[in-house]
């Protein structure tokens, strides 16, 4: 009997489940969806554990889902997904290499993060700027990381409903899995945009291989809240009015449409900016079309307006067309309306289909089981064995008589004297070299104490700053108040202590533009939480115009903390 594969998509407003039996094509044997209480999920993260668990239990009862392992999806603005390049090596060696570099790649402390990676492909990079291409292949690696506490809370909410979690997958990768095939790849790239209630997932792939992933912390709920505030309506009334836009022509719906214009335009601008970011990367493939899915895909005008912004065809996603659909409790006429809600759940269930990269952020994964740790234990054992053998190799001297003993002693003394003189000469040369090393070490330490990881800071800022603010200028400066010099030889411990004792002093200034003054408040709230900055302030802000839109241009300043310093001076063992 074929194994049943179950995908569970926990969105902002609803939970969807899909059960798949593998095959060619895969067969959809069950699908269902239940609503979630408002605010039980916020920006893709569990906010009310009991409410989410109860909704999953209700969904199980309605669909008739038996207890079986499930694949849960995650999509949050705090999710870190990036593509890196590494020399070609085995997966075990790659795991070991990443273990020593991971803190430079993610803005989350390693002991608080869940990390996984997938090798996408291998290629030989082209030579640039006249440089010789040595022809050495590299591999593209997709790296994903999330806060361990965030993932654990999601897993616990699901397992409390009686469903064991088999893996925690990325919603953007699930979308590629359910909507892309290798036949879509004609040398170009395809975008997929899933607009949910609280988050919007944007992913670009080439023939099923993901090239760009971004999760936005906004969705259709912003429009509902704008209607409720403008018309002084309840949330449910506002949601009903939003669904009538483009279908009903009366005063209330017209007012609701007007209220959504600004947040709707801002959401589409964020989607456009995300896809433009991909298109502007060196070597990016041409974007040929975008598939639109999620509940927000049903909003009136979204397809035409997004197409006008991007200049490419926008198609409604139809995941059913890649499946054989059993009797799942819906009439044939009702099946098309399921498409926007089906993509993520189906893609999660197809997790081991081999259609695209596989990521598993289930916290039980322990990177210490990789071969790099086993090889380290082997090296330690070999070193211990070497010491034992050296201890046994004690030379013996045969003595035949007293005369030969005296001769041997005299010869030994001569050899010792010659060896001692050689050692004295060697130590004199080493002393001179040691003195030079002290000078060089002091110079290196002086540089490392002021070494700020500007790229990491800007990457973290891009992920932390509000979506309603965009950065137009950045300046940073650093001065160093060095500690007293360390005496003794320039050991790794001395260098590390000098780096730890030195105090990093510096400041940064930003020039930015926000949609309104609320955006500035969001900037202060979010950016002040970054450990690299302190004393964040807004010395200047003024209203201005951008095209036909009112915006706010402002300046922001902050002091740098020691967290802004790069880790290059504190590698394991003090190695540089």
What pLDDT, in 10s, does the model give residues 270-286?
A: 999 999 999 999 889 99
CB 206 within 8 A of CB 185: yes
- Please check whether residue 416 lies inside any domain of the structure: no
Least confident of 16-25, 74-83, 332-341, 559-568: 559-568
How far, rounded to the nearest angstrom, does the alpha carbon of residue 408 sit from its chain's CA centroid? 71
Of 2 and 357, more confident: 357
Query: Is 211 within the bounds of a domain?
Result: yes
Which CATH number characterizes residue 173's domain? 3.30.420.40
Q: How far apart are CA 64 and CA 76, in angstroms?
A: 29
In a domain, 204, yes or no: yes
Domain boundary among 369, 394, 419: 369
The reply to whether 248 falls in a domain is yes
What gap in Å lies between CA 419 and CA 396, rounded to an integer? 20
Verify that 364 and 471 share a domain, yes or no. no
- Do the beta carbons of residue 349 and residue 167 sit within 8 Å? no
307 vs 452 pLDDT, higher one: 307
Residues 99, 211 within the same domain: yes
Per DSSP, 64 falls in state T
Question: Within a domain: residue 374?
Answer: no
pLDDT at 456: 78
Rounded to the nearest 10°, the torsion over CA 526, 528, 531, 533 is 130
| pLDDT category of residue 186 using cuts at 50, 70 and 90 | low
Q: Residue 11 corresponds to which tokens in the numbers above?
A: 């969105």
Average pLDDT value for residue range 404-412? 54
Confidence of residue 406 (pLDDT cuts 50, 70, 90): low
Is the pLDDT at 382 greater than 50? The verdict is: no
Output the pTM of the full model. 0.64
Q: Which two tokens stand for residue 146?
A: 């999330």
Q: 182: domain range?
A: 5-125+137-369
Per-residue pLDDT for 397 more than 50?
Answer: no
Q: How confident is the model at residue 177 (pLDDT cuts 50, 70, 90)?
A: very high
* Whether residue 292 sits in one domain with residue 149: yes
| The pLDDT of residue 576 | 43
Strand partners, 21: 27
Q: Is the pLDDT reported for residue 370 higher than 70? A: no
The region of weakest confidence among 25-39, 44-58, 559-573 is 559-573
Q: What is the spatial distance between Cα 223 and Cα 267, in angstroms, rounded to a whole number? A: 9
**Upper half-sphere CA count for residue 133 (Cβ side, 13 Å):** 10
CA-to-CA distance for 560 and 533, rounded, in angstroms? Answer: 5
End-to-end CA, the chain? 56
CB 303, CB 316: distance < 8 Å: yes
**In this structure, what CATH number is given to the domain that contains residue 511?**
3.30.70
| pLDDT higher than 80, residue 407 | no
Single out the residue in 349, 369, 389 at which a domain terminates.
Answer: 369
How high is the pLDDT of residue 366? 40
Distance CA 475, CA 479 (A): 14
| Dihedral class, residue 151 (left if φ above 0, else alpha if ψ from -120 to 50, else beta) | alpha
Q: Are 473 and 355 found together in one domain?
A: no
Same domain, 146 and 254: yes
Tokens of 231: 């018309």
Q: What is the DSSP letter of 67?
A: S
Those residues with Cβ within 8 angstroms of residue 239's Cβ, 6 or more apart along the chain or in another chain: 224
Report the C-alpha gap between 473 and 450 in whole angstroms. Answer: 22
Whether residue 56 is found in the same domain as residue 167? yes
* Domain final residue, candidates 369, 391, 410: 369
Determine the average pLDDT of the residues in 493-514: 71
- 443: pLDDT confidence band, cut at 50, 70 and 90? low
Reported as a single tens digit per residue, the pLDDT across 241-273 is 999 998 888 999 999 999 999 999 999 999 999
Assess whether 330 and 210 both reside in one domain.
yes
437 part of a folded domain: no
pLDDT score of 383 more than 60: no
| 358, 499: one domain | no
User: Quick one: average pLDDT of 189-212?
Assistant: 95
In a domain, 117, yes or no: yes
**Contact, 566 vs 451, CB < 8 A?**
yes
* pLDDT for the residue numbered 563: 81
The answer to whether residue 374 scores a pLDDT higher than 50 is no
Q: Which of 72, 75, 74 is nearest to 165 (CA)?
A: 72
Residues 69 and 197 both lie in one domain = yes
What digits encode the pLDDT tens for the residues 317-330?
A: 999 988 999 999 99
Q: Is 323:343 a contact under the CB 8 Å cutoff?
A: no
User: What is the structure's pLDDT at 426?
Assistant: 64
- Percent of the chain at pLDDT > 90 equals 51
Same domain, 349 and 460: no
Give 236's pLDDT tier (boundaries 50, 70, 90). Answer: very high
Average pLDDT, the chain: 82
Closest of 310, 313, 342 to residue 328, by C-alpha: 342
Closest by Cα among 170, 173, 175, 168 to 319: 175
Residue 542, Cα to own-chain centre: how many angstroms? 34
Q: Is 129 left (phi over 0), alpha (psi -120 to 50) or beta?
A: left
Residue 115 belongs to a domain = yes
Q: Where are the alpha helices (DSSP H) in 450-511?
A: 454-464, 492-501
Same domain, 354 and 475: no
For residue 471, the model assigns a pLDDT of: 87
* Mean pLDDT score, 70-84: 94
pLDDT band at 491 (very low <50, low <70, confident <90, very high): low
What band does 367 get if pLDDT is binned at 50, 70 and 90?
very low
C-alpha to C-alpha distance for 169 and 210, rounded to whole angstroms: 14
CA pseudo-torsion sign 86, 89, 91, 93: negative
pLDDT digits (tens, 9 = 90+) for 137-172: 899 999 999 999 999 999 999 999 999 999 999 999
Domain total in the chain? 2
> What's the rounded Cα separation, in Å, for the pair 511 and 405?
87
Mean pLDDT, range 337-352, rounded to an integer: 92
Predicted confidence at residue 364, as pLDDT, reads 63
Residue 66 sits in the same domain as residue 184: yes
């Amino acid at each position: 009997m074929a194994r049943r594969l179950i995908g569970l998509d926990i969105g902002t407003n609803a939970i969807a489940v899909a059960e798949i039996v593998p095959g060619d094509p895969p067969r959809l044997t069950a699908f269902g969806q239940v609503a979630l209480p408002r605010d039980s999920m916020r920006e893709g993260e569990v906010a009310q554990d009991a409410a989410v668990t109860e909704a999953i239990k209700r969904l199980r009862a309605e669909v008739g889902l038996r207890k079986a392992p499930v694949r849960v999806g995650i999509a949050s603005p705090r999710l870190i997904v990036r593509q890196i390049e590494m020399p070609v090596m085995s997966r075990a060696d790659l795991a070991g290499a990443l273990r020593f570099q991971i803190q430079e790649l993610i803005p989350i402390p390693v002991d608080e993060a869940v990390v996984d990676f997938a090798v996408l492909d291998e290629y030989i990079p082209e030579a640039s700027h006249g440089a010789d291409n040595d022809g050495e292949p590299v591999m593209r690696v997709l790296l994903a990381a999330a806060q361990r506490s965030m993932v654990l809370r999601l897993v616990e909410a699901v397992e409390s409903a009686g469903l064991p979690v088999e893996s925690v997958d990325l919603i953007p990768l699930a979308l590629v899995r359910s909507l892309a095939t290798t036949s879509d790849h004609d040398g170009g790239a395809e975008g997929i945009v899933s607009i949910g209630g609280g988050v919007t997932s944007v992913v670009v792939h080439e023939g099923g291989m993901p090239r760009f992933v971004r999760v936005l912390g906004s969705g259709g709920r912003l429009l509902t809240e704008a209607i409720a505030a403008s018309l002084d309506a309840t949330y449910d009334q506002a949601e009903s009015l939003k669904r009538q836009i483009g279908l009903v022509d009366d005063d209330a719906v017209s007012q609701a449409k007007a209220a959504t214009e600004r947040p709707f335009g801002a959401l589409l601008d964020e989607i456009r900016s995300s896809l433009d970011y991909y298109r502007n990367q060196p070597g990016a493939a041409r974007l040929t079309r975008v598939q639109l899915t999620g509940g927000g895909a049903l909003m009136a005008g979204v397809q035409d307006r997004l197409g006008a912004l991007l200049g490419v065809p926008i198609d409604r996603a139809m995941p059913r067309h890649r499946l054989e659909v059993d009797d799942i409790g819906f009439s044939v006429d009702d099946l098309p309306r399921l498409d926007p809600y089906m993509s993520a759940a189906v893609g999660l269930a197809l997790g081991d289909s081999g259609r695209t990269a596989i990521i598993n952020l289930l916290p039980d994964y322990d990177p210490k089981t990789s071969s790099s740790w086993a090889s380290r234990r082997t090296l330690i054992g070999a070193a211990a064995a070497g010491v034992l053998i050296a201890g046994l190799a004690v030379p013996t001297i045969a003595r035949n008589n007293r005369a030969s003993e005296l001769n041997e002693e005299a010869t030994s003394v001569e050899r010792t004297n010659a060896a001692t003189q050689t050692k004295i000469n060697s130590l004199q040369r080493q002393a001179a070299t040691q003195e030079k090393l002290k000078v060089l070490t002091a110079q290196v330490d002086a540089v490392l104490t002021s070494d700020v990881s500007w790229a990491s800071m800007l990457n973290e800022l891009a992920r932390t700053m509000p979506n309603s603010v965009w950065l137009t200028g950045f300046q940073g400066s650093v001065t160093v108040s060095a500690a007293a010099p360390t005496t003794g030889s320039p050991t790794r411990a001395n260098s590390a202590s000098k780096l730890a004792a030195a105090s990093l002093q510096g400041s940064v200034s930003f020039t930015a533009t926000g949609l309104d003054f609320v955006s500035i408040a969001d900037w202060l709230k979010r950016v002040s939480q970054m450990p690299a900055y302190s004393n964040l302030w807004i010395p200047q802000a003024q209203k201005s115009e951008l095209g036909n839109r009112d915006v706010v241009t402002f300046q922001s300043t902050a002091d740098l903390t020691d967290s802004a310093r790069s880790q290059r001076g504190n590698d394991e063992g003090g190695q540089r």
